[in-house]
Amino acid sequence: MPRYEYRCRTCGDTFELSRPMAESSAPADCPAGHDDTVKLLSTVAVGGSASAPAPAPQSGGGGCCGGGCCG
């Protein structure tokens, strides 16, 4: 069952619900009982992402000038 994320506009809390797709747009009460909620766009990437961001440079040397290749 897909999970959907909602945000309560009364208390600002975000929460997730597992519900059928047919009910994805149905009103959802926040855990505190408020009913003024909005459905957030799902950011769940099923299957993983193909393009990962470039890895951060390693600290502690290993760069070009640190390896002596720059003269």
Q: Please pick, from the candidates 3, 27, 32, 44, the single residue that binds Zn ion as defined by CB under 5 A.
A: 32
Quick check: 30 binds Zn ion (CB under 5 A)?
yes
> Distance between CA atoms of 4 and 37, rounded to whole angstroms?
12
Q: How far is the CB of 54 from Zn ion (least distance, A)?
A: 39
N- to C-terminal Cα distance for the chain? Answer: 60
Closer CB to Zn ion, 16 or 66, in the complex: 16
Q: Please pick, from the candidates 7, 19, 24, 34, the single residue that binds Zn ion as defined by CB under 5 A.
A: 34
Q: How far is the CB of 15 from Zn ion (least distance, A)?
A: 8
> Distance between CA atoms of 44 and 18, rounded to whole angstroms?
13
Per the listing, tokens 């440079």 go with 57
Joined together, the tokens standing for residue 53 give 């961001």
Give the interface with Zn ion as residue ranges (CB under 5 A): 8, 10-11, 30, 32, 34
